[in-house]
Amino acid sequence: MKPLSIQRLFISLVFLMGWGAVLGGEAYESPVRAGAFQKLIVQDQGRLKPLDTFARSQLLLYHSKSTIDRQKAIDWLLELMIAPQAAYQRKVFKVREKEAILGLGLGLDPESRYSFAELSQAIRERQESLNKLVEKGEGERTRAEGQLVTLYLKALRYLALSRSLTGLIPDISVSNPELAEAIGFEVGKGYTYRQFLEVRGAMATELESLRGRQEGDAISPKESALIDLVQQLNVKLADRSSQILKIVMPEGEQEEATWFAPWELLDGRQLTPWQLDRLRELETIVAAFYADGLAQVSQEVDPLVDAVNANVKLKGELFYNKANFFRNSIVFYILAFLLLLVSYVFTSKWVGRLSFASLIVGFALHLVGLLFRIYIMGRPPVSTLYESIVFVGWVLVLLSIILEAVRHDTLGLLVGSVAGTALHFIGFSYSAEGDTMKMLVAVLNSNFWLGTHVLTITIGYGVALTAGLVAHVYLLLRLIFPARRRWAREAFKVSYGICLVAVFFTTFGTILGGIWGDQSWGRFWGWDPKENGALLIVLWLLIVIHGRLAGRLKELGFSVALALTPISVALAWFGVNLLQVGLHSYGFDDGVATNLYYFCVGEAVFAIGSGLIIQLRTRLQRAPIKN
C-alpha cells in the first residue's frame, strides 16, 4: 500500500502546481480600475484594435512584459494618461543594455528597472549631446551609442504617449469671476483645453484689451487672471505633438480611413459636428476617471463606451486577450509531461491516460486560440514569425496525438508534451516584440497564397521537427537502454514514416512557394535566402532518405542524420531572417543569433556525439564475440 499513497501524493502535488498557475494568474493590487476603458477602439499599426491590445503592446515595448507588478496593462496606460505624475514614478522601463544606463549617468538597478522620472532627469542633463547622437548616421554610431539613442527615443515616445489625452482633461479653471463671466464659464470649475478652444472668440476679445499695454502699466485682477490662463493654455499646447493614440473615429469608412489623435484635432482647425461629438464623448469618459481619482467608474463609463463602440470583431479580440489561451495551453502540456514521468516511475497505465487527456486539453486550448486569431485577423495563422511558431507547435502536438492514438506506447505523449511546451516558450519570447497581430506588406497580403504555400511549408516545419524529435528519442533509447533494441527499432520505424510525411509537406510547400513567385513576380525560383532555406530542409530530408536507400546510412546513421534535421529547420525559419536583417543589428536579433548558434551546436553535439558513443559501444560489445 505504501507506494500507492506516495503515488497519490505526487499526483495531487502535480495537480496543485498545474491549477495554481491557471487560477493564480491575474490578481493585482492597484488603485486604478480601467474597466470598460479597455473596450475603446484605437487605430494602431494599420488596424483597429481595442485599447486593451494597444496597452499591452505599448507596455511590452517599455517593460518587456504585458503586465506590470501584477497590474494590467490597461490600468497602467490609464494611469499614465490621466495621472502621469504618479505614473512617472513607476519603474516601467526595463533596460538590459548596461552601456545605455551608464551613459546616462544612472546607477545600475539590480532588476534593470528604471522609472521615467529617473530617465527624464538624466536625459534633461544631457539633452544636447543626445540630440547630436541622434543626428549622427546609424552606421556611424558605436554599439553603446546606438543603445543610448534607442533608449532616448523610447523615453520621448513614452512622454508623448502619456500626454495623449491632456487636451481632454478638465484641469484648467478660471478663478476670476469677471473673466469667467466674460467667456461664459463657471468660476472655479475645471475645463478642458478643447472647451477653451470653443470660446476662443470671447478669449480673443478679452486679449484685445491687453494690446498696447506697456511694461509697468497697472493691471486689473481680471487681466492678471487672463495672462495666467493664457500661460496655462500655452503649457498645454506643448503637448500637441502627442499623436500616438489614434482614438477619434473618422466619419464614414472607419476601417479604411485614418483615425485621429485628439491633439491632431485640437490644432485650431474647424471641427466637423461629427468630430466634435466624438471628442465630447471622449471628454466625458476622461472626466469620469479624472474626477474619481482613477477609481472604479465602470457603471458610469460602460454605457458611454458602448455608445462609442459599434465594431463587433473587436469583442472577440478582448476575449482573446483575456482568455490567454496559449498560456493556459502550456500549463496542460507541462502537466502532461509531468504525469508522463509519473507514469514511467510507477508504470501506471492510469496516469498515462491522464497525461494523454491533459495533452488533449492543452491541444484544444491551443486550437481555440488559433481559431480566435484567424477570426480576428481574417487570415491563416501563419503570416508572421510569432504566428508560425504557435502554429508549428500546434502541428507538432497534433502529430503526437495521432501517434499516441495509433500506438498507445507513450512515444507520442513524450514528443507532444516536450515540443508543445518548448514552442510555446519560444512563442512567448517572440510576443514580447509588441502586438502580435500585425498587418502585412502588399506582397504577403494574399489569403490564397498564405493559405496554400505558407500553410503547407509551415506544416512541413512542424512535421520535420517531429521526425527529428522521434530520432532524438531513438538515440536516447539506445543510449539509456542498450539492451532494449526493439524499443529503438520501433522509434526508428516511426521516424522514417514521419520523415516521408515531412518530405511531402516541405517539397510541396517549396514548389508552391515557387508557383506563388511565378504568379506574383514572374519567376519560379530565384535562389533568394527564403527559398533556399526551404530547399535546405527538402534536400536534407532527401539526402537522409536516399542515403538509407543507397545503403550509405544504416539505422543508426539515418537516425543521427534525421536528428540533425531540426538544425535545417531552424536555419530556414530563423537563420534566413537574420541574414536579411543583417547580422550586426542591435538588440533583439543579437539574442536570436546567439540562441540559434547554441541550438545548432547543441543539436549537432548531441546527435553526432550520441551516434559515436552508440557505435563505439556496439563495437566493444561485438569484439569479444569474435575471439
Q: Of these, 10, 30, 47, 608, which contacts another protein (CB under 8 A)?
A: 47
486 Cβ contact partners less than 8 Å away, ≥ 6 residues apart: none
**Nearest to another protein of 182, 467 (CB atom):** 467
Q: Which stretch binds another protein (CB under 8 A): 219-227, 256-264, 282-290, 597-605?
A: 256-264
Q: Where are the beta strands (DSSP E) in 15-98?
A: 41-44, 47-50, 67-68, 71-72, 93-94
| 395 binding another protein? (CB under 8 A) | no
Query: Is residue 249 a contact point for another protein (CB under 8 A)?
Result: no
Selected binder of another protein within 111, 135, 215, 256 (CB under 8 A): 256
Give the shortest CB-487-to-another protein separation in angstroms.
9
Single residue of 177, 190, 529, 557 touching another protein by CB under 8 A:
529
Grid cell locating 264: 491632431
Residues 73-92 that bind another protein (CB under 8 A): none
**Is residue 520 near another protein by the rule CB under 8 A?**
yes
Using rule CB under 8 A, residue 43 touches another protein? yes
Member of 496, 558, 573, 574 binding another protein (CB under 8 A)? 496
In the complex, the smallest distance separating the C-beta of residue 445 from another protein, rounded to whole angstroms, is 6
- The CB-of-415 to another protein minimum distance in angstroms stands at 12
Q: Rounded to whole angstroms, how far apart are CA atoms 494 and 496?
A: 5
Do the beta carbons of residue 57 and residue 86 sit within 8 Å?
Answer: no
Stretch that binds another protein, among 4-12, 100-108, 370-378, 537-545 (CB under 8 A): 537-545
Site for another protein in 445-484 (CB under 8 A): 445-446, 448-449
Q: Min. distance of Cβ 186 from another protein in angstroms? A: 38
Regarding 539 and contact with another protein (CB under 8 A), the answer is yes
**436 contacts another protein (rule: CB under 8 A):** no
Report if residue 518 touches another protein, rule: CB under 8 A: yes
The 3-state DSSP class for residue 47 equals: strand
User: Distance between CA 513 and CA 455 in Å, rounded?
Assistant: 10
For another protein, which residue of 9, 542, 612, 613 counts as binding (CB under 8 A)? 542
- What type of residue sits at position 490? E
**Is residue 443 a contact point for another protein (CB under 8 A)?**
yes
- State the angle between helix axes of 349-377 and 313-323 in degrees (0 to 180), rounded to the nearest 10: 150
Identity of the residue, 35 or 509, whose beta carbon is nearer to another protein in the bound complex: 509
C-alpha cell at 582: 543583417
Alpha helices per DSSP H over 408-484: 411-431, 447-449, 455-480
From the list 92-100, 142-150, 319-327, 540-548, the region that binds another protein by CB under 8 A is 540-548
Nearer to another protein, 325 or 496 (CB): 496
| Residue 579 interacting with another protein (CB under 8 A) | yes
Per rule CB under 8 A, is residue 533 in the interface with another protein? yes
User: Residue 220, Cβ neighbours under 10 Å: how many?
Assistant: 12
Contact stretch for another protein (CB under 8 A) within 87-95, 291-299, 358-366, 494-502: 494-502
Which of 485, 546, 554, 617: binder of another protein (CB under 8 A)?
A: 546
Residue nearer to another protein on the CB measure, 84 or 514: 514
How buried is 448 (Cβ within 10 angstroms: 0-12 exposed, 13-18 middle, 19+ buried)?
exposed
Helices marked H in 126-266: 127-135, 143-162, 177-183, 193-198, 200-208, 221-237, 262-265
3-state secondary structure 81-122: HHCHHHHHCCCCEECCCHHHHHHCCCCCCCCCEECHHHHHHH
Identified binder of another protein from the candidate list 12, 45, 224, 618, rule CB under 8 A: 45
User: Minimum distance from CB of 521 to another protein (Å)?
Assistant: 5
- Sorted by sequence, the CB contacts under 8 Å of residue 529 that are 6+ apart come out as 576, 579, 580
Distance CA 438, CA 410 (A): 38
Q: Please say whether the beta carbons of 399 and 498 come within 8 A.
A: yes
Q: How many CA atoms lie within 13 A of 332 on its CB side?
A: 18
Q: Is 347 in the site for another protein (CB under 8 A)?
A: no
